[in-house]
Structure 1
Amino acid sequence: MESTAGRVMAREIAEQPATIEATVNRLRPLAEEIRALVGDRRRVILIARGTSDNAALYGQYLLALRAGVLAVPASPSLSALYRAEVDLSDTVAVAISQSGGTEEIVEAMHDAKQRGARTIAVTNGADSPLARDADLALVTAAGRELAVPATKTYSAQLVAVAVLALAIGQERRLLDQLDDVPEAVSRMLGTEDAAAALADRLRDVERMVVTARGLALTTARELALKLQETCHLAAVGLSGADLQHGPIAMLDARTPALLVASATDSAVAPGMVELARRCRASGADVHVLGGDDALGALADVRVAGPDLPPELAPIPLIVPGQLLTLALARAKGLDPDTPRGLNKVTQTA
């Protein structure tokens, strides 16, 4: 009898072109409202946990690159546990939560609002506490997500974060190019066979390093998280720069490296090629997700990535990683729909 493992996750991965198109169409018309709310405030804090934290990292890069705004991750524990008193009267607090019901995130945004911040929620929960309490809610159009690993809600969060950053930066060209993302995601769904071939190579691996530089780092960290939660793999998601400051010693013949890169990001391309050479010199297998031909030439297995501007590439770039996660979990005899010890909404004490 055919296994049903991962059937829900597979369906939700396949729904992403429609999810992204609907989210773009819903949120892009809010660009003027976003700018009006932000006004002349030039400091942004990003409140998130788990997968949403990886979407927040994308926001850090995009806000700096295309809006000239320094965005930093908030530490929800400062308000939830330490009750720190911080003046946020010059700040915009962006809280990111798929459900909008994670108490720590809701409370941290509410605390920021009480301390003077203007607040923006990024959530899939239109009627959630997070959406109700925010000054502006950017509600994604992912529909209900049933599998525990976030796939379509994550890519929808990336779209929302992109709209936010590009609206603040008045980047009309890139806002218009969001129309190209659904088709790019559809093409990435065609990498299923290549992802399965890589999964077969990784079937018996117990630990690995997933690494990137720049905008693609959000994809590397999200992919590492997915491998941890669905494949029970000790996957470490690191900046390529941080990797070379000591952790590269982890790599050996039993610990492969998976390098993640946009094919169009010339700023990081030379460094990623050199990083691949260093990883290979350690005796590790080197695999590549995305990247240009020079990086691909150093790979044992390469899974192609999207051909989009580097600012937008992280949205479709995660899709081959999701397909890899699905295939590897199945190869290990696991059901990625329901990873052990996890629930759809995580509450932290």
Structure 2
Amino acid sequence: MKRVDFPTLILVTIVTLLIWLLAEDLTRQESTLRSAGVAFAVADPDRFAVEPDRVEVTLAVGGSNRSVSSLREIVENEALTIGLEAREGTVSIDDLAKRLNDLPAVSKTGVKILSVQSPTRTIKITELEELTAPVRPRLPEGSLVQDPVVSQKEARVILPRREAARLPENLTLEAVVDPKDMQHLEPGDAKTVDAIIKLPEEFASMQDVTIIPADARVSFRLVSRYSSVDLDKVYVQVQVNPATAEAFRITLPEPVLRNVQVETSTELAAQLEPGPDGEPPAARVVAVLPLSNLELERGLESKPVAYFMALLPDGTGQEVTASVNGDAHPSIQISVEATPAPATPETP
């Protein structure tokens, strides 16, 4: 029996395995890499914004098994970054595959990117400007507070340069307190609440604005809180000198004002609302229209309301702030007629 040459057999096996591995490595294939991240960047990212700054694409690639695996590992862990010129404007990229092939991260793998799904991209580059502005508190309308203090004295504003040109030189940001954070506070309370730092309302429509930091804390002592009440109708109350009241007949073609907005304390506002079971309000508002003797004698035809008054359950009155479509003194039409004097009986 012939003896087996084990050393030769082992050597042949190793050589065969190496040849197989080499062939496997050199064999070229085409493959698809999905959800590959591609980033767009400029040399000065603090001064320019890129939109979009990242997209996901599907790549059709060709190369050896090893090289394709290397590229797959790269795109699974990081985005392929394409550099753009730092200049405001729109950049159209219609050769995305070529730009990706030119990247060192791709070329060193030996892979060739054959095509890119959606090979054309439009990139918007915006030049930015950074400003620093003081921050003041802005509390909900109807809240009277003492000693409001904002934790953030200043904030940075980053926005497009073209938008920055619209801002005033003495720009002041506002730490805006949500009305919901004030609802359960009682007058006299010293509180600190969260606020969002924003541009003033007249610049609220500006886009692509970043404020750093975005939040602040506002501390204050609540003195009083006001609420807004919409009343469907408010009667006009005419006031005249009692001594001359019988000498004139005064009529109002429209004795009721409609859709009256009242701003008052939360306590009084609650009394102007119907009860939970439909009970009539405990207080009501009237529009006061005083008429002088001279106005009556002249036959005045219209006059603005002097003020609005809330008639309280205890019989007293309290002047309130009210308006009709923003008009605090709506005009009232008046009809004034002199009353004939009673006949004097003849003396026999």
TM-score w.r.t. the length of structure 1 is 0.20
More helix per residue: 1 or 2?
1
Q: RCO higher in 1 or 2 (8 Å CA, sep ≥ 6)?
A: 1
User: Under a length normalisation based on structure 2, what TM-score does the superposition of the two structures give?
Assistant: 0.20
In terms of Rg, which structure is larger?
Answer: 2
* Greater strand content: 2
